[in-house]
Amino acid sequence: AQSVTQPDIHITVSEGASLELRCNYSYGATPYLFWYVQSPGQGLQLLLKYFSGDTLVQGIKGFEAEFKRSQSSFNLRKPSVHWSDAAEYFCAVAGPGGGNKLTFGTGTQLKVEL
């Protein structure tokens, strides 16, 4: 069965600093990978996704993520964090070829210090 691990429950960074949120997955083949952001009391917004091709994907709000098959990782990065980026971030995996359910990690809560 597929699974997702986000090892960092909470992360605090200063505004303007760089950010990397870790995500490791377990899946038998090349998965479809996603990063979502959730602001308090809100639904989830898709930041970026990886299906195939270039392993470095660009998303919205200046985020990017890199798929590393050898490490089973899909870490999210941003070179300079803004105070408005404070939110909870979820990594998710789904199987290709019609496996429609998303399996989510437990999330990383990002706090941004001014």
Partner 1 sequence: NAGVMQNPRHLVRRRGQEARLRCSPMKGHSHVYWYRQLPEEGLKFMVYLQKENIIDESGMPKERFSAEFPKEGPSILRIQQVVRGDSAAYFCASSPPEGARNNEQFFGPGTRLTVL
SS3 track for the chain: CCEEECCCCEEEEECCCCEEECCEEECCCCCEEEEEEECCCCCEEEEEEECCCCCEEECHHHCEEEEEHHHCEEEEEECCCCHHHCEEEEEEEECCCCCCCCEECCCEEEEEEC
Measured from the CB atom, the residue of 15 and 104 that comes closer to partner 1 is: 104
Note whether 24 binds partner 1 by CB under 8 A.
Answer: no
Note whether 103 binds partner 1 by CB under 8 A.
Answer: yes
Closest separation in Å from C-beta 93 to partner 1: 9
Q: Among 30, 42, 58, 80, indicate the residue that binds partner 1 (CB under 8 A).
A: 42
Note whether 70 binds partner 1 by CB under 8 A.
Answer: no
**Contact positions vs partner 1 (CB under 8 A):** 4, 32, 34, 36, 41-46, 49, 51, 90, 92, 94, 96-107
